Structure 1
Amino acid sequence: MPIRVKSRRPVSQGDRGVSPHWVHYDSELPDISHDDTFREVVKKLSIYIADVVYLPSTFEQLRTTVAGDCLRTLVDHISAKVTNPAIVNALLALRWHYGTASDDKGTGEARANACEIVAWRFLTRLSEREAVEFCLYEIPEPNDGMNGNRDDLEAHPEQCESDESTALLGSPSIPPMDERADCHRTGTQKRSQLLQSLSKLTMSMYADSDDEVDENDPTAPFINLNALEIAAIADAKRFLSQHVVQKIITGIWSGEIMFWDRLSVHSEKKPRFYNAHTADPFSRLRVPKYLKAYEVMFFGTFLFLYYAVLIEQNRYAITPLEILLYIWFAAFFYDEVSEYIDAGSIFYAADVWNLFDMIMIAIGIVFAAMRFVGLYSEDYTLVDIAFDVLSLEALFMVPRICSILSLSPYWGTLIPCLKEMGKDFVKFMVLVVILYLGFLTTFSLVGRETFTFPHMAMIVTKIFFGSSYVGFDIMEDIDPIFGPPLMLIFVTLSSILLMGSLTGMLSNSFSRVISHAREEYLYVYSVYVLEASTSNRLTHFYPPFNLLALVIFRPLRLFLPSNDKFRRARIILLKATHAPVVGAIKLYELITSKWAPNDGFDTFRGPRRGTMKGNSMHPPAVGSRRPDIPSARPRSQDVIQKPSSTPARSQVTEDDATDAPSNVEVRISELSNKIDRLTALVTSMQSGAGTETVRS
């Protein structure tokens, strides 16, 4: 029988004999079974969310006031009754739909917030490993059912991967062999498809049967996406900043959770807990932490070659160091193109450092073109200009090397603030330019006999940057009659009104953004981790080794079909070129494992020698619905299991806070409890002493 929940709506004018503000009605909680498809889960949830969230409400109102009572009821219901593995995916997909749908009443944003709240509250009811299972569950193809079998991938593992252009967060389902061109869809195309698909789905959510819905599955663009990828698409920044979600993302960052455990022709992409004794050492090349470390070393070498070429600056011939610089430029350019195709424009633009990369590539192309043309035509003036253009590269290359600081909480929090302040500054400068063009035109025409237009433009610019005395010195030279009053107005407008307004606006922008800067930082960090780890590529070549794959395999692909031999050849080349990198990674892990601190991610780690009794791992988390994986299991069993149909849940207190309590807060709480117990003990002793006094 369907479960009903009491909700409240405002009373209409036609209601009589009821409360003057609210009237009760019954809403059916979604009846979601374990075998329901993703499309059915989205449809049932959308009916309930649209029914109970009907007024504009802020995120905090839904989280803390009675406006969110129905959401708490829904969380209780799905925690106790629902075991469908796609429940979190469906909630975040609806969050994306309601957040992008145009709604003048403001209910769309309220419903989007409601879906996000329900999604992360549901995760707080689970153990850590169960949260990993739900967050990394990928929507299977419709014909695969909810078990997500990948028979086609096992039969044709080269599909999409062999093209080396598979979209990451915007990848559709694995296509048949004659439709591999679909793998080239970008994130922007995916976002447009998601909007159209979810709109068709929720518009028909009250249909009695699936026959009334469009014959094409409107949820097809979500196939092969996990909940974290959908959250990134949906801009669910509060969800991604939750402590339980960040533990998963940090586990992926450090390589404790991985998607490829071995490099072979028939490897399958699945989320797994890392097992050092069974995993292929070359699978560590996909760990985001090591990718970032290698990126810093690559840019360090890039900067060394850059300085060497500029210091040598041979005008008449191309030196070996310059050839190496061109190779680094080409490898960098090809790596950026591959990253853009993988991630799509939306996620590529989410990282502010990618803007630096594009500018660096543009400067390199201009330098190379001017250098070659100048040498070919023996125009050494053009060659000198080319080196001057190359000198601009340092403005972006030096900060790019230091981009690793953006992954730290302090520096990563400042970057979103500076980004938003820059946007506001550009908007404000539009007004400044309009006003300055008017005054510049007037001053140029009035003082045309004394000052040229470029000279006057420079004077106006100096006044804007604070040199007000320049205007007072020349105001009579411009014109004895109109010059002084116009200059007085202009200086007052520039120094007091415009600069004061700009300072106040930027200060307000900083204060506004800094309160949400942590969410912005964690969002960018999460997107980077997902981009670096969940790609459908099996073989990922580091630059400059990617040029070898480009030179060797791209021409062959024009003549040879993608097959097992082709994929095996790529794997052999990867192992041959990246063996030193893998050796350095294993040495680092061997050294750090001896004194690795307890960082709170022990529950995400695979079996470890010395931490088990017999063949079993440490005891499972409280409320876990399955026994932990024994260390002697074969490699295929290290895969993170799909959420089972057992309805048991860990009884974890719901955490409404965005951040987990810090160590100081935990210690304060412990001290408060001890003080309370001590106070109670003293009170009982005093009452006992008073009783003895009365008796005596």
Structure 2
Amino acid sequence: MGSIVYAATSFFDILPDHYKRKQIALYNPREAPILDHYRLKVPRVRQALETIYFLVLFASFFVVLQQRRNLSSDAPVSKAEIWLILYGLGLTLDKIASILEHGWTVFTANMWNGLDFCFCCSFIVYFSLVVSGKGEEGHAILACGAVLLFPRLAFVTLSNNVLVLALRAMMADFFFLMVLAVWCFLGFLYALWILGHGQYSVYDISKWMIWIWFGLDSTGLELARNFHAFWGPVLFVTYACLSTTLLLTVLVSILATRFADINRDAIEEYMFRRAVVVFEGIKSDAIFNYWPPVNLLALTVLVPIRFILTPRRFHSLNVFCTRVSAAPILILIAFYERRIFGSIKATSSIGANHELKVARGMSRFEVRADVEALIDYFARDNRGADPESRTARPRHLSVTSMMEHGLSHQQEVNENSSNVEWQTELKQRLEGIENALLMMSKHGRRPAD
């Protein structure tokens, strides 16, 4: 929602701009400027923007492939394909910045980021082939990207379905079992190749084994005696039993167990996914303020200028460029938030002299850096609270009680002002996100795992 505002930090920013640090506060859209570029980093806004980015990519991808379908292989690159190349490179830059921002663990915790990463890799291969003059091979790689984009579209449409929630874990179990099976079946391949004395190639034996695995053809069984009169049929029959009967039974059992576990903990799983989306949506890098492919221009122009200008002048330039490039989006966000946040009467700051710092010893490829820093910040403000309240609940679990102490301190400072409404609003929102904070800070993984 973006109702609680704080300045996020990260270990590495492609386009760092930390000249102004925002205090931890309750957001009031009626006091904020209309072109508030900080709202582009709100998790809900980021999720909506990323959905729009994907839909634009999908439409551009579909148009380009339909055009190439009716053109010869040596046809020049069309304007639509130039747009797709620029947009795809900008989206790839956005994904790379996301990995650097929160690390690989948080990035892969999101269900569809794996598909996005695979598509970005295939898109880089396509772009390299097109630039090198191998357009036909490049467009073949691009066409194979449809295998990744269509499931991604399903994840966007049915993101809260329990089957979609379980699909990521089930796919991980499936690929692990397949890799283990292939590794074990390499022994059968090697044994048959040795028994054949070079009569059949490794490719032919592998082809027959794959056909038996999927129940398509029995050529390998018919030629089993050509390998060895006794051991040839024994190896092929044993392999057929293991691949088509035992492996399938084990696979069904594992996937059924995994789905049952996630379905039993569906609420916790959904909360975890929401927490991942929120934490991944909190951005520090200024490159996220620019939509693809404008972020490519920001990378090539603003990054070198940053080393020339002073931090203040660079901040002013970055804010100006962000508001100009994203003006329509910012106007829509301002109009929308002035309607949904109409009940908030005041914006209050918590801890005016504090900033959130990420521990230096924590790797950027770990989870929960900002979350732990946020909890530690509240813990520092609670050191003067009642000792009984501190012992009644562990330090890392007392987010709400810490905030209550901060609220009582704020009320003492503002004795002549009426901020009861603000206190109630803040406590309700903190209690709503406390479970997600604790889940991520304590476990850092899926409940079903």
Q: Who is 1:576 aligned against?
A: 324
Q: Is the counterpart of residue 280 in structure 1 residue 33 in structure 2? A: yes
Q: Which amino acid aligns with 2:249?
A: G
CA distance, structure 1, for counterparts of residue 251 and residue 280 of structure 2: 37
Q: Who is 1:410 aligned against?
A: 162
Cα-to-partner distance string for 1:337-384 (whole Å, 9 max, x where unaligned): 22222213332233243322322222122112211211xxxxxxx321
Q: Which amino acid aligns with 1:318?
A: V
- 1:299 corresponds to which of 54, 61, 86: 54
CA distance, structure 2, for counterparts of residue 642 and residue 388 of structure 1: 54
- 2:145 corresponds to which of 383, 393, 396: 393
Q: Which amino acid aligns with 2:22?
A: K
Q: Who is 2:395 aligned against?
A: none
The answer on whether the counterparts of 1:406 and 1:415 sit within 8 Å (CA) in structure 2 is: no
Q: Who is 2:275 aligned against?
A: 526
Q: Who is 2:251 aligned against?
A: 502
CA distance, structure 2, for counterparts of residue 633 and residue 564 of structure 1: 35
SS of the aligned residue for 2:326 comes to: helix
CA distance, structure 1, for counterparts of residue 214 and residue 102 of structure 2: 41
Q: Is the counterpart of residue 488 in structure 1 residue 264 in structure 2? A: no
* Structure 2, gaps ≥5 residues long: 347-403, 428-434, 440-449
The answer on whether the counterparts of 2:211 and 2:218 sit within 8 Å (CA) in structure 1 is: no
Q: Is the counterpart of residue 383 in structure 1 residue 383 in structure 2? A: no
Q: Who is 2:97 aligned against?
A: 338
Instruction: Give how far 1:265 is off.
Output: 9.6
TM-score by length of 2: 0.66
Q: Who is 1:106 aligned against?
A: none
SS of the aligned residue for 1:519 comes to: helix
CA distance, structure 1, for counterparts of residue 119 and residue 99 of structure 2: 15
Q: Which amino acid aligns with 2:150?
A: V
The answer on whether the counterparts of 1:424 and 1:506 sit within 8 Å (CA) in structure 2 is: no
Q: Which amino acid aligns with 1:544?
A: P
Q: Per the alignment, do residues 633 and 354 of structure 1 end up closer, same or farther by CA in structure 2, a change over 3 Å counting?
A: farther
Q: Per the alignment, do residues 450 and 353 of structure 1 end up closer, same or farther by CA in structure 2, a change over 3 Å counting?
A: same
Q: Who is 1:108 aligned against?
A: none
Q: Per the alignment, do residues 548 and 639 of structure 1 end up closer, same or farther by CA in structure 2, a change over 3 Å counting?
A: farther
Q: Which amino acid aligns with 1:530?
A: F
The answer on whether the counterparts of 1:464 and 1:494 sit within 8 Å (CA) in structure 2 is: yes
Cα-to-partner distance string for 1:569-623 (whole Å, 9 max, x where unaligned): 11111111111112233444567789xxxxxxxxxx6229xxxxxxxxxxxxx99
Who wins on radius of gyration, i.e. which is larger? 1
The answer on whether the counterparts of 1:424 and 1:509 sit within 8 Å (CA) in structure 2 is: no
CA distance, structure 2, for counterparts of residue 369 and residue 639 of structure 1: 56
How do residues 210-229 of structure 1 correspond to structure 2 at under 5 angstroms? none
Q: Which amino acid aligns with 1:339?
A: S
Greater relative CO, 1 or 2 (CA 8 Å, sep 6+): 2
CA distance, structure 1, for counterparts of residue 118 and residue 130 of structure 2: 18
Q: Per the alignment, do residues 580 and 295 of structure 1 end up closer, same or farther by CA in structure 2, a change over 3 Å counting?
A: same
* Higher helix fraction (1 or 2): 2
CA distance, structure 1, for counterparts of residue 226 and residue 175 of structure 2: 38
Q: Who is 2:345 aligned against?
A: 607
Q: Per the alignment, do residues 575 and 277 of structure 1 end up closer, same or farther by CA in structure 2, a change over 3 Å counting?
A: same
Q: Which amino acid aligns with 2:29?
A: A
Cα-to-partner distance string for 1:213-244 (whole Å, 9 max, x where unaligned): xxxxxxxxxxxxxxxxxxxxxxxxxxxxxxxx
Q: Per the alignment, do residues 568 and 485 of structure 1 end up closer, same or farther by CA in structure 2, a change over 3 Å counting?
A: closer
Instruction: Give how far 1:267 is off.
Output: 4.6
Q: Is the counterpart of residue 433 in structure 1 residue 182 in structure 2? A: yes
SS of the aligned residue for 1:337 comes to: helix
Instruction: Give how far 1:400 is off.
Output: 3.0
Instruction: Give how far 1:303 is off.
Output: 1.8
Cα-to-partner distance string for 1:615-635 (whole Å, 9 max, x where unaligned): xxxxxxx998476999x989x
Cα-to-partner distance string for 1:422-481 (whole Å, 9 max, x where unaligned): 36425xx42x23442222233334445864432221111111223475554444455544
Calculate percent identity across the aligned residue pairs: 20
Q: Per the alignment, do residues 404 and 499 of structure 1 end up closer, same or farther by CA in structure 2, a change over 3 Å counting?
A: closer
Q: Who is 2:130 aligned against?
A: 371
How do residues 52-451 of structure 1 correspond to structure 2 at under 5 angstroms? 167-168=9-10, 171=11, 267-281=20-34, 282=36, 283-313=38-68, 315-374=74-133, 382-405=134-157, 407-408=159-160, 410-411=162-163, 413-422=165-174, 424-426=176-178, 429-430=179-180, 432-447=181-196, 451=200
The answer on whether the counterparts of 1:459 and 1:471 sit within 8 Å (CA) in structure 2 is: yes
Q: Per the alignment, do residues 365 and 489 of structure 1 end up closer, same or farther by CA in structure 2, a change over 3 Å counting?
A: closer
CA distance, structure 2, for counterparts of residue 417 and residue 488 of structure 1: 32
Q: Who is 1:670 aligned against?
A: none
Q: Who is 1:457 aligned against?
A: 206
Q: Which amino acid aligns with 1:273?
A: L
The answer on whether the counterparts of 1:288 and 1:532 sit within 8 Å (CA) in structure 2 is: yes
SS of the aligned residue for 2:63 comes to: helix
